[in-house]
Amino acid sequence: MKTDFWYRFFRNRLAVIGGIVVVSLFAVSLLASWIAPYDPNEINIDRVLESPSSEHLLGTDQLGRDVLSRMIWGSRISLKVGFVATGIAILVGAVLGAVAGYYGRWVDSVIMRFVDVMLCFPSFFLILAVIALLEPSIWNIMIVIGLTGWMGITRLVRADFISLRERDFVQAARVIGAGDARIIFRHILPNAMASVLVAATLGVAGAILTESALSFLGIGVQPPTPSWGNILTAGKDNIDIAWWLSLYPGLAILITVLGYNLLGEGIRDSLDPRLRE
C-alpha cells in the first residue's frame, strides 16, 4: 500500500511541485544562519531603501537592513507558527472528534454543538480580539491560532470514528476486554489519521497566512524579529519608493501557501484516488 501511495504521489506533478517547495522552505529555515548574507537586524543608515543590487539581492528596508537576510530568517518564524499552531489544532480536534464519534449520543451532541458555536465566529476576527487582549508575542499567536483552528479536524475525525467504531477489529478489541481509551487511541485513531494528515498540511498553510496577516497589521510578531508580515508592513509604508519590500515577501507567502496546498491536495488524492473522479 505504501508503494501505491508513493507511485500515485510522484505521478501527480502538482503534488511533487508542492513537496519541493515545502522541502526547500525547510532547508532555507534550517540553514538560515549559514546562508543569510547579513545579520537580519543589522542597521545601516547609509543603505536605507536601496533597490536590489549585487550587494543586496533583494534590496534594503527603511533601516538599511538586508531584505534577503530578513526573509530567510522570517521563514523560521513561518514554519514555527505553522507547525506549532497546527499541532495544537490537531491535538484538540483529534481528541474531541474521537470522543464525539466513539461515544455518540449526548456526548456527540454536546461536542458538535460547541463546534457549531465556534464556527459561528469568524476565525480571523476572533483571533484579532484575543490577540488585542494579550501581549503580542509569537507564542501567544501560535496558541491562539491553534485554539481557533481545530473545528474542521474535529468534524473529520468524528466522521471517521463513526464509520470505524463498528468494524470487526473494534469489536474484537472489545471482546478481549480492551478499554475505551485503548480502543480509541490504539485501534481507531491510527486508522483515521489519513484525513488528519491532509488537514494538517492544509492547516500549516492557513496558519502561515494568518500569522503574516497579523504581523502585517502590527499585532503579530514584533520588530526587530523578522517576519514576512512585518516586512510587508514596511513595504506598505514605502510603497511608492520601495516596491521590493512588498513584492518579495508577498511572493514568498504566495509560493509557500500554494506549495502546502498543492502538497495537501496531492496527499489526499494519493491516499484515496477515488476523490479525483
Domains and CATH numbers, the chain: 2-276 (1.10.3720.10)
Q: What is the pLDDT of residues 46-58, one digit of tens each?
A: 888 888 988 899 9
Grid cell of 110 as nine digits: 454536546
Mean pLDDT (the chain) is: 86
Q: Residue 189: its pLDDT value, please? A: 81
Q: Residue 272: its pLDDT value, please? A: 66
Q: Residue 277: its pLDDT value, please? A: 45
Beta-carbon count within 10 A of 35 CB:
12
Residue, of 195 and 37, whose pLDDT is higher: 37
Q: From CA 131, how far away is CA 125, in angstroms rounded? A: 10
Q: What is the pLDDT of residues 108-125, one digit of tens each?
A: 899 999 999 888 888 788
Grid cell of 79 as nine digits: 514554519
Q: From CA 202, how far away is CA 41, in angstroms rounded? A: 31
Q: What percent of the chain has pLDDT over 90?
A: 27
SS3 52: coil
Residue owning grid cell 469489536: 171
Q: Among 91-100, 218-227, 242-251, 266-275, which is the least confidently predicted range?
A: 266-275
Q: From CA 183, how far away is CA 196, in angstroms rounded? A: 18
Cis check for the bond before 226: say yes or no (omega within 30 of 0): no
Of the chain, the end-to-end C-alpha distance in Å amounts to 20
Residue, of 60 and 218, whose pLDDT is higher: 60
- Which residues are bridge partners to 66 per DSSP? 60
SS3 60: strand
Q: Are residues 195 and 160 in contact, defined by beta-carbon separation less than 8 angstroms?
A: yes
With the C-alpha atoms ordered 61, 65, 70, 71, is the resulting torsion angle positive or negative?
Answer: positive
Question: Cα 272 from chain centroid?
Answer: 22
pLDDT band at 229, cuts 50/70/90? confident
Q: Residue 253: its pLDDT value, please? A: 92
Residue 274: CB partners within 8 Å, gap ≥ 6? none
pLDDT band at 273, cuts 50/70/90? low
Q: Is the pLDDT of residue 131 over 80?
A: no
pLDDT band at 166, cuts 50/70/90? confident
Q: From CA 25, how far away is CA 238, in angstroms rounded? A: 27
Q: What is the pLDDT of residues 134-158, one digit of tens each?
A: 777 788 888 888 988 899 899 988 9
Question: 228-237 and 244-271 helices cross at what angle (nearest 10)?
Answer: 140
pLDDT band at 179, cuts 50/70/90? confident
Q: Residue 2: its pLDDT value, please? A: 59
Grid cell of 107 as nine digits: 456526548
pTM: 0.86
Phi-psi region of 51 (alpha: psi -120 to 50; beta: other; left: phi over 0): beta
Instruction: Tell me which DSSP letter residue 267 carries.
Output: H
Mean pLDDT of 71-77: 91
Mean pLDDT of 231-238: 84
